[in-house]
Structure 1
Amino acid sequence: YERSGHWEKFKDELFRITTREGHEFAMKPMNCPHHTQIYARRQWSYRELPQRYANTTTCYRDEQTGELSGLSRVRAFTQDDAHVFCRSTQIKEEFNKVWDIVQTFYAAFGFDMKVRLSTHDPERMENYLGSPESWETAVKILEQIVAEKGVGAIAGDGEAAFYGPKLDFMANDSMGREWQVATIQLDFVQPMRFDLTCMNEKSEKEPVVMIHAAIMGSIDRFLSILIEHTGGAFPLWLSPVQAKVLPVSEKHIAYAQEVAEQFRAVGIRVELSADDSLGKRIRSAKMEKVPYVLVVGDAEVEAKTATLEGRAGKIGALPVADIIAKLKEEIRTRAIS
């Protein structure tokens, strides 16, 4: 961490432990230095690049009490973190691949995305590692990537990481609030500090470039944004319980169980609720924000149907096979609502 620069920058924010013998340890605050160690375990040929590492693990920060906020700011968080080690000629291609993943991921949740080009403050170079020249080079590369994508980027002066500029993806939730979600960062500094190279076509050592990428940033924080964005009403494909089968009375339970088994057989997450009055069970399912409720009574048992109700209101009596087909298609297409 001293070699990477993280210790100097973040030492006061780490969970630190000192043993009785005076050895000092820190609970892992980020993954970057560890991925450099994985890359540095042996010499790589240019033919083997890019090398891509990704892991989803818990990281720890000694946040102060006043800084904590629900799931969005915690002391132990689960980070989806990835790093690409590549040649300078591969930067654009690797950035675009991660960009495509970000777009695909957030489109599934209905977020409106904007891109912010986060750069350094040339007047405060003491806050950053690396030379002004390397920073200018890195910023120009990101400007080219944004221009070639044909999108307008928001200027984020002074918002860069201490080791390099980045593309931050900004999402607006259903309440109009803006959040920084995914990030892709370009880093010439870490490879230099850890002497990370590949053997090029001339059998000479060539410095590599490091790209940092996080799609969710932290799973905990992303979930807090998603819960508020949807008001807890997750799309069908993501809902923990996708449908509830409600028999009108005890004599309809056997048929309700048959319906539920048909749903389970095709992988639809379903629960059967037979306790309490029908009205209370319907209200409970709505409070739990279950996407679909199926009510079965005498008429449904007779016709081998179920009366379907979604979040938007009552749909009507349909054959069970038709309901299953409808839900499967909605799950397959990952419909937002």
Structure 2
Amino acid sequence: MTQPLVPSDVVYPADGFALFSDRSVVALRVNGTLRDLATVVTADDTVEPVTIDSPDGLDILRHSTAHVLAQAVQRIRPQANLGIGPPIADGFYYDFGVDEPFTPEDLKAIKKEMERIVREGQRFMRRVVTEDEARVELAHEPFKLELIGLKGGADAAEGASVEVGGAELTIYDNVTRDGETAWKDLCRGPHVPGTRMIGNGWDLTRVAGAYWRGSEKNPQLQRIYGTAWPTKDELRAYQHRLEEAARRDHRKLGAELDLFSFPDEIGPGLAVFHPKGGIIRYEIEQYMRQRLLAADYEMVNSPHITKSDLFMTSGHLQWYADGMYPPMELDEIVDAEGHVTRQGQEYYLKPMNCPFHNLIFRSRGRSYRELPLRLAEFGTVYRYEKSGTLAGLTRVRGMTQDDAHIYVTADQVRDELTRNLDFVLSVLRDYGLQDFYLELSTKEEGNPKFIGDDALWAEATETLREVAEASGLELVPDPGGAAFYGPKISVQARDAIGRTWQMSTIQLDFNQPERFELEYTGPDGAKHRPVMIHRALFGSIERFFAILLEHYAGAFPVWLSPTQVVAIPVAGEYGDYLDEIVARLRTRGVRAEVDHSDDRMQKKIRTHTTQKVPIQLIAGEQDRSAGTVSFRFRDGTQTNGIPVDEAIDRILTAIAERTLVDTAEDLA
């Protein structure tokens, strides 16, 4: 409902709160801005009730629960200093400056205190204050005073917008039924009307260390994480999803299935792939190369390091230097007496492939007849991610990007964007992902991070929006999430347990062609500037590997499985018979082997089932005599007496069609 409210929808009691016939309403969107229910509206306002189960409503619920957490902590540890407490995906956190880290026993006590605050039915009351007034009231909170000074600028802190991100400074009082202020916090709001609405669908999950404002130069705070949901049942469902996610954790599966590791000798965020992981990675890349070539991409290659001038031209040194490894000074010349006769040149490990592709485009004259020119590379890049942000293969320091850069005329932009969006969705479906929505990342007005002409940004953003909407997929806005050089569409994919992962990105860039002075000769004989499209399908091979590993819980489709077929003889005397069948499979490119170990047959079956081998071939006297084999599958089902030729055909078909084979029905 987006219309002025009428008296039957809302009444205003003496305390000023809006009461709705729909008691799930927790806030209002008044003329496009989120406001508390205490906001007085008029017939001239456009008002939309915000329900507790909507995305905005969930954020408000979680932010309110974070305030209850902070109040409980200060009841138990009055000397604790408050950091920030924003809502996050599926939950919230709050940072505290404390002398001693929180213990598991502390969390139990904090949770009990939170339960008391919820039952007390405190109301969240908003007050507008001046900067001087806020400093007086929060004089004992050094981190809050620092935020007031920064006024929510770009260098404030991640999540700080919930404190000082509005046009005015506000403090929220937690007011008891007797009208006393029990606690207060600097906060932008809005909040639920009162603590009772938080209910019992919440929990505290863990404690972690976090540097104030994300900088290792600042004090380390204690961060308490929690989750909050409208009902206890939704909380339990979320906890069940967490248990399933833990079972699928790619770091755990990577060790159990012997796929990859992170040796200390190499350094944080730098993975090595073992033979089984290496073959999965090979198949992922090889199929992608086939699709690229079929889609008229041209494969290129570029070095891992370059002179600093290249990244000065591209803008990465100005806007991305903190995410790059420090430079190496090379090519210095020293004479026989030890004097430097020529200063060295700074070289950087590359964090991006795009500047190299620009040089390839610029290496000779280009004609409009060559456009669209689609350059693709599996290029390894290096980014100096902070150690606290590293997370297995999903956040690493060395990664291989399936990168492509497409150079088009202005008239070709829309068709090429549509073509690429269709292409990435088709490829992702081939890898087994099916559930998608799109996110449109745009610039934040006034943020100096974003470079280039405003008119070009507006044109690029609108073009991306129209292409995304034409796809028929849900489109979600992501204000401020664009790259520094242009807006982007990102494909968000939901995995087997409903989690969302950012997958492919398609970015429009009017700026790098300008910075590199890229040109092509048009049909009029004049020089023109191409438009550049950045396209990454996986983001990185490492991250995509992790996502697929968790999506399938290690039980890959046959074509991606490191071992596709294991043959198990009922007794040793039938090993030769299975050797002949496996030899035929291997000549057809199937990754197959015979288990000739001394283990009993049942133990062999358990071992290879645990290793998630999709197909086991079993043979005894009856099979050998009849020229057949028996299939056994991951779920324990079995198909007996299949002629060898037919068995081989079924296996080859499953591989060619990229079939997920878990049960007998999947290979019928």
Q: Which residue of 1 aligns with 2:444?
A: 121
Q: SS of the counterpart of 2:476?
A: strand
Q: Could you tell me which of 510, 515, 519 is aligned with 1:193?
A: 515
Q: SS of the counterpart of 1:37?
A: helix
TM-score by length of 2: 0.49
Q: How does 1:5-20 map to 2 (within 5 A)?
A: 5-19=315-329
Q: Distance in 1 between matches of 2:554 and 2:513?
A: 42
Q: Which amino acid aligns with 2:362?
A: A
Q: Could you tell me which of 295, 312, 316 is aligned with 2:640?
A: 316
Q: How does 1:223-302 map to 2 (within 5 A)?
A: 223-275=545-597, 276-302=599-625
What's the offset of the Cα at 1:187? 0.4
Q: Distance in 1 between matches of 2:323 and 2:447?
A: 22
Q: Could you tell me which of 351, 360, 366 is aligned with 1:29?
A: 351
What's the offset of the Cα at 1:222? 0.5
Q: Distance in 1 between matches of 2:475 and 2:362?
A: 34
Q: SS of the counterpart of 1:2?
A: helix
Q: SS of the counterpart of 2:525?
A: coil
Q: Deviations over 1:96-141 (max 9, x none)?
A: 222222112111232212111111122x341201121111010111
Q: Distance in 2 between matches of 1:215 and 1:229?
A: 17
Which entry has the higher C-alpha Rg, 1 or 2?
Answer: 2
1:333 counterpart = 2:333? no
Deviates more, 1:127-136 or 1:14-23: 14-23
What's the offset of the Cα at 1:72? 1.0
Q: How does 1:153-164 map to 2 (within 5 A)?
A: 153-164=475-486
Q: SS of the counterpart of 1:261?
A: helix
Q: Could you tell me which of 181, 190, 197 is aligned with 2:503?
A: 181
Q: Distance in 1 between matches of 2:621 and 2:316?
A: 68
| Contact 1:249-1:274 at 8 Å conserved across structures | no
Structural RMSD (CA): 1.5
Q: Which residue of 2 aligns with 1:207?
A: 529
What's the offset of the Cα at 1:236? 0.9
Q: How does 1:28-67 map to 2 (within 5 A)?
A: 28-67=350-389
Is the alpha carbon distance of 1:160 and 1:245 closer, same or farther for their aligned partners in structure 2, counting shifts above 3 Å? same
Q: How does 1:90-129 map to 2 (within 5 A)?
A: 90-111=412-433, 112-122=435-445, 124-129=446-451
Q: Distance in 1 between matches of 2:472 and 2:495?
A: 24
Q: Could you tell me which of 295, 306, 318 is aligned with 2:629?
A: 306
Q: Deviations over 1:22-46 (max 9, x none)?
A: 5322111111111111111222121
Q: SS of the counterpart of 1:127?
A: coil
Structure 1, unaligned stretches of length 5 or more? none
Q: Which amino acid aligns with 1:317?
A: G
Q: Distance in 2 between matches of 1:286 and 1:262?
A: 23
Q: SS of the counterpart of 1:117?
A: strand
Q: Which residue of 1 aligns with 2:142?
A: none
Q: Deviations over 1:267-301 (max 9, x none)?
A: 22211002111111101110110001111111111
Q: Which amino acid aligns with 1:113?
A: F
What's the offset of the Cα at 1:309? 0.8
Q: Distance in 1 between matches of 2:653 and 2:536?
A: 30
What's the offset of the Cα at 1:164? 0.6
TM-score by length of 1: 0.95
Deviates more, 1:19-28 or 1:276-285: 19-28
How many residue pairs are counted as aligned between the two chains?
Answer: 336
Q: Distance in 1 between matches of 2:521 and 2:572?
A: 74
Q: Which residue of 1 aligns with 2:278?
A: none
Q: Distance in 2 between matches of 1:171 and 1:138?
A: 24
Q: Distance in 1 between matches of 2:444 and 2:367?
A: 36
Q: Distance in 1 between matches of 2:626 and 2:363?
A: 67
| Contact 1:16-1:24 at 8 Å conserved across structures | no
Q: Distance in 2 between matches of 1:329 and 1:31?
A: 37
| Contact 1:125-1:132 at 8 Å conserved across structures | no
Q: Which amino acid aligns with 1:311?
A: R
Structure 2, unaligned stretches of length 5 or more? 1-310, 333-342, 662-668
What's the offset of the Cα at 1:262? 2.3
Q: Which amino acid aligns with 2:651?
A: L
Q: Deviations over 1:164-206 (max 9, x none)?
A: 1111011111222111011111000111111112111221111
| Contact 2:436-2:473 at 8 Å conserved across structures | no
Q: SS of the counterpart of 2:578?
A: helix
Q: Which amino acid aligns with 1:293?
A: Q
Q: Which amino acid aligns with 1:336?
A: L
Q: Which amino acid aligns with 1:29?
A: P
| Contact 1:52-1:85 at 8 Å conserved across structures | yes
Q: Percent identity?
A: 38
Deviates more, 1:256-265 or 1:85-94: 256-265
Q: Which has the higher contact order (CA 8 A, sep 6+)?
A: 1
Q: Which residue of 1 aligns with 2:411?
A: 89
What's the offset of the Cα at 1:17? 3.0
Q: Distance in 1 between matches of 2:542 and 2:520?
A: 36
Q: SS of the counterpart of 1:160?
A: coil
1:4 counterpart = 2:328? no
